[in-house]
Amino acid sequence: HINITITIQASFKFQTTALIDSGAQMNCIQEGLIPTKYFEKTKQKLSTTNGENLRVKFKVTDAHICNEGICIKQSFILVKDLDIGIILGQPFLEIIKPFKVKTEGMTTKIFQQKKSICF
């Protein structure tokens, strides 16, 4: 888990804890955490590892994930009945790779600078 601030369209901001999941094909936000004016309808589908379909109707395309002064633009799908508020999946990991994982966090090189993402 990492502490992050999510900013959407520079007018909505909240701090939360996110789970980083390399097995998640998409970045996910629990439906209800984001005001409706910031999301749009989607036809994307998502299922759990055991094949159960998740209820997905909306997406957020203009979100910035910030941690320790680093902000990365990402898209999210909104998932109804998601047990975890925020999941940062493969799209997030693709942006920060290559990275190293240690007990205290992850290190990566973004914008030609070595950065740490603290757990």
How is 35-103 classified by DSSP, letter by letter?
Answer: -GGG-EE-----B-TTSPBPEEEEEEEEEEEEETTEEEEEEEEEEET-SSSEEE-HHHHHHH-SEEEET
pLDDT band, very low/low/confident/very high, at 63 (cuts 50, 70, 90): very high
What value does the mean pLDDT take over residues 26-54?
A: 89
What value does the mean pLDDT take over residues 62-69?
A: 89
Count CB-CB contacts under 10 A for residue 82.
Answer: 20
Average pLDDT score, the chain: 89
Architecture of the domain made up of 2-118: Beta Barrel (2.40)
